[in-house]
Amino acid sequence: MKSNSCPLVALIGRPNVGKSTLFNRITRRRDAIVDPTPGVTRDRHYAQASWEEYAFMLVDTGGIEEVDGPDTDQFSDHIRTQALQAVEEADVILLLLDGRQGVLPGDHEIVNLLRRAKKEIFFVVNKIDSPEIETELLTPFWELGVPELWALSGDHGYGFRTLMEALAEKLGASEAPPELPEGTIRLAFLGRPNVGKSSMVNAIMGQERMVVSDISGTTRDSVDTLLSRDQYTYLLIDTAGIRRKGKTKDKLEKFSILKALKALSRCDIAVVVIDAEEGITEQDTKVIGYTQDHGRALLILINKWDLIQDDKKKQDWLLEDVRLATNFIPFAPVFRVSAKTGSGIKRIFPEVGKIHRQFHQRFSTSALNRLLEAATLHHEPPMYRGRRLKLYYTTQLDSAPPTFVVIANFPKGIHFSYQRYLTNRFREGLGLDRIPVRLFFRERSGRSKR
Ligand code: GDP
Ligand code: GDP
């Protein structure tokens, strides 16, 4: 996704109303490139999707809820949490209701909660599998007092196109993001509450030679700042920024996955901030996984280093923990910094420059093929069912991240270890040591088969 903004569409609803069925129907149209990065979290509850020319991020809020805190079995709490989260973060909400079950007492509450939110909401009655039963199954839902109801069968497809067209229309009508200067390097600051994201953004802004420009149309869910230094422009996306305005002391702030996902869809480089004193937590690891699901470049900042600067033992533990947690992405640079004292911050920008250059780099097909030839000469692909695997040629499909396809006779027969070998050779040969690189195999003729 290369646009500046990507609206977030949240699916909410009770368990078993058909959220994941609809989720799959919406997302499976995308013929996604299978990510060969090992160890990456494969959370299937969110995905980039599109309808006609409108791209959006689709999130099944019911599925990711447990990430956000202790789960509760209480059904009404469950959906209320989803709804509140969606109201806060999503641009469009699809509330799924179960046409076969009819209106349940809890539905009123949830509809009222949503109606107050003044968001774009689609009230969708699902499991209406054919037009003949529409009237019968839909009618009872008018008692909810909503302006419009959408009949749908997520399973069979009835009503699907109509719903998606209406959704696309809403997405098209939403406010266009402000234009960024050509070549702007977009950095999203992610991490748990209180790790120091905002402090870091402020420390960066306060640096010498850094010119802060005004950016109009700051998004609801994060604060954007445009900076320039030398000939470069940077967009800093501070996912912690907004809450500053209505800071509530007594309420413990929760980490918001939705907010993180949304910021990720708008950035080139994800800057994951970790608290040196608290160490790396499961949630940090999860966020790091998300950055790779999205194919983002990644920079890890261990902040508050000042707090452990005299504790050599703790430093060693911490660095080892970070190393272990990121061993599936050894390319990600890790910096020790302090937003408070400013130490280490000067080094961030030269690094960001290198990461960005690599992330967007393009290579000629001839250079890539020379590399492929040398790599296969050095280490031939193994046999597959008694036949020699042949790698014919390679080309770069995309940048950000650099993505390569290798045409082969039996793509399925290529073992993961050989794929890793080749990816590493490409990395070395192309000087891509700081960013994720994707390499996959495809059959020679016709369309690729799955
Ligand atoms: P979720 O818990 O909300 O994600 O619900 P699922 O998508 O897992 O669906 C729950 C059950 O409802 C499954 O058995 C689905 O096959 C069924 N289901 C989902 N959509 C439809 C539909 O449009 N029509 C019918 N008849 N069943 C559906
Ligand atoms: P955010 O929620 O991630 O944006 O975190 P904040 O920027 O609000 O910082 C949370 C707390 O950590 C504040 O009290 C900061 O003063 C403190 N803090 C941030 N960075 C540092 C640092 O490098 N060292 C120390 N000692 N404290 C820091």
Long-range contacts of 386-390 (CB under 8 A, 24+ apart): 387/413, 389/413, 389/414
Cα 194 to middle of ligand 2, angstroms: 6
Q: Could you tell me which residues are beta bridge partners of residue 48?
A: 57
- What pLDDT score does 445 carry? 65
268 and 398 belong to one structural domain: no
The domain in which residue 101 lies consists of 8-172
Token pair listed for 226: 């445009």
- What pLDDT score does 14 carry? 85
Q: What is the pLDDT of residues 108-149, one digit of tens each?
A: 888 888 888 878 899 999 999 999 999 999 999 999 988 899
The DSSP secondary-structure symbol of 1 reads -
- What pLDDT score does 250 carry? 39
The edge-to-edge listing of strands for the beta sheet with 223-229 is: 211-213, 223-229, 232-238, 185-190, 269-275, 297-303, 334-336
Pocket test for ligand 2, best of 189, 190, 195, 199 (most atoms within 8 A of CB): 199
C-alpha to C-alpha distance for 304 and 206, rounded to whole angstroms: 17
CA-proximal residue: ligand 2, atom 24 (nearest): 304
Cβ of 202 closer than 6 Å to ligand 2, yes or no, is no
Cβ of 25 closer than 6 Å to ligand 2, yes or no, is no
- What pLDDT score does 174 carry? 67
Q: Could you tell me which residues are beta bridge partners of residue 391?
A: 408
Residues 6+ apart with CB under 8 A from 220: 242
Q: Are the C-beta atoms of residues 36 and 54 closer than 8 Å to each other?
A: no
Top pLDDT among 168 and 217 is at 168
- What pLDDT score does 448 carry? 46
Judged against a pLDDT cut of 80, whether residue 258 lies above it is answered with no
Of the pLDDT bands very low, low, confident and very high (cuts 50, 70, 90), residue 342 is very high
Average pLDDT over residues 59-65: 67
Residue with the two structure tokens 């009770």:
14
Q: What is the pLDDT of residues 24-37, one digit of tens each?
A: 898 875 433 344 44
Share of the chain above pLDDT 90, in %: 51
321 and 191 belong to one structural domain: yes
Top pLDDT among 15 and 338 is at 338
Q: Could you tell me the pTM of the whole model?
A: 0.74
C-alpha to C-alpha distance for 95 and 62, rounded to whole angstroms: 11
221 and 332 belong to one structural domain: yes
CA-proximal residue: ligand 1, atom 7 (nearest): 18
What is the atom index within ligand 2 of the atom nearest the CA of 203? 20
- What pLDDT score does 71 carry? 42
Cβ of 243 closer than 6 Å to ligand 2, yes or no, is no
End-to-end CA distance of the chain: 23
Judged against a pLDDT cut of 60, whether residue 238 lies above it is answered with yes
| CATH number of the domain encompassing residue 416 | 3.30.300.20
- What pLDDT score does 257 carry? 76
Top pLDDT among 170 and 371 is at 371
Judged against a pLDDT cut of 90, whether residue 153 lies above it is answered with yes
Lowest-confidence segment of 58-72, 221-235, 352-366 by average pLDDT: 58-72
Average pLDDT over residues 42-53: 72
Cα 410 to middle of ligand 1, angstroms: 37
Measured from the alpha carbon of residue 155, the closest ligand is 1
Q: Are the C-beta atoms of residues 35 and 295 closer than 8 Å to each other?
A: yes
Cα 127 to middle of ligand 1, angstroms: 7
The gap from C-alpha 65 to its chain's centroid, in whole angstroms, comes to: 16
Asked if residue 150 is part of any domain, the answer here is yes
Domain boundary among 138, 172, 206: 172
Asked if residue 137 is part of any domain, the answer here is yes
Helices (H), 116-256: 134-138, 160-173, 197-205
The DSSP secondary-structure symbol of 131 reads G
Cα 408 to middle of ligand 2, angstroms: 51
198 and 146 belong to one structural domain: no
Cβ of 196 closer than 6 Å to ligand 2, yes or no, is yes
What is the atom index within ligand 1 of the atom nearest the CA of 152? 23
232 and 334 belong to one structural domain: yes
Determine phi and psi for 246, rounding to 5 degrees.
-115, 55
Nearest to 220 by CA among 300, 118, 293, 152: 118
Cα 156 to middle of ligand 1, angstroms: 10
Cβ of 343 closer than 6 Å to ligand 2, yes or no, is no
Asked if residue 178 is part of any domain, the answer here is no
Asked if residue 215 is part of any domain, the answer here is yes
Top pLDDT among 172 and 191 is at 191
Token pair listed for 123: 């009230």
Asked if residue 448 is part of any domain, the answer here is no
41 and 160 belong to one structural domain: yes
CA-proximal residue: ligand 2, atom 25 (nearest): 304
Cα 185 to middle of ligand 2, angstroms: 24
Cβ of 201 closer than 6 Å to ligand 2, yes or no, is no
Cβ of 448 closer than 6 Å to ligand 1, yes or no, is no
Token pair listed for 86: 């969606």
CA-proximal residue: ligand 2, atom 10 (nearest): 194
Lowest-confidence segment of 48-57, 139-148, 192-201, 340-349 by average pLDDT: 48-57
Judged against a pLDDT cut of 80, whether residue 421 lies above it is answered with yes
C-alpha to C-alpha distance for 426 and 396, rounded to whole angstroms: 11
CA-proximal residue: ligand 2, atom 19 (nearest): 196
304 and 203 belong to one structural domain: yes
Asked if residue 30 is part of any domain, the answer here is yes
- What pLDDT score does 117 carry? 80
253 and 107 belong to one structural domain: no
CA-proximal residue: ligand 2, atom 6 (nearest): 196
167 and 79 belong to one structural domain: yes
123 and 202 belong to one structural domain: no
Share of the chain above pLDDT 70, in %: 84
Asked if residue 265 is part of any domain, the answer here is yes
What is the atom index within ligand 2 of the atom nearest the CA of 307? 26
Average pLDDT over residues 160-187: 85
Burial letters for 242-255: b for 16+ Cβ neighbours within 10 Å, e otherwise? bbeeeeeeeeeeeb
16 and 149 belong to one structural domain: yes
Judged against a pLDDT cut of 50, whether residue 244 lies above it is answered with no
Q: Are the C-beta atoms of residues 277 and 23 closer than 8 Å to each other?
A: no
Cβ of 64 closer than 6 Å to ligand 1, yes or no, is no
Cβ of 308 closer than 6 Å to ligand 2, yes or no, is no
Judged against a pLDDT cut of 50, whether residue 38 lies above it is answered with no
C-alpha to C-alpha distance for 369 and 424, rounded to whole angstroms: 15
- What pLDDT score does 214 carry? 60
Cα 144 to middle of ligand 1, angstroms: 22
Residue with the two structure tokens 């007594």:
250
Structural domain total, the chain: 3
- What pLDDT score does 177 carry? 64
Judged against a pLDDT cut of 90, whether residue 179 lies above it is answered with no
Top pLDDT among 211 and 342 is at 342
Asked if residue 42 is part of any domain, the answer here is yes
| CATH number of the domain encompassing residue 22 | 3.40.50.300
CA-proximal residue: ligand 1, atom 18 (nearest): 18
Domain boundary among 310, 340, 359: 359
Nearest to 361 by CA among 395, 402, 332, 328: 402
Average pLDDT over residues 398-415: 92
C-alpha to C-alpha distance for 96 and 439, rounded to whole angstroms: 38
Q: What is the pLDDT of residues 79-106, one digit of tens each?
A: 777 777 777 778 899 999 999 999 998 8
Lowest-confidence segment of 22-36, 102-116, 285-299, 341-355 by average pLDDT: 22-36
Of the pLDDT bands very low, low, confident and very high (cuts 50, 70, 90), residue 72 is very low
The helix (H) or strand (E) run that includes residue 257 is helix 257-265
Judged against a pLDDT cut of 90, whether residue 278 lies above it is answered with yes
- What pLDDT score does 361 carry? 96
Judged against a pLDDT cut of 80, whether residue 60 lies above it is answered with yes
C-alpha to C-alpha distance for 218 and 236, rounded to whole angstroms: 11
Cα 19 to middle of ligand 1, angstroms: 7
Domain boundary among 172, 204, 237: 172
- What pLDDT score does 300 carry? 97
Residue with the two structure tokens 């949240």:
10
Measured from the alpha carbon of residue 128, the closest ligand is 1
83 and 165 belong to one structural domain: yes
What is the atom index within ligand 2 of the atom nearest the CA of 191? 3
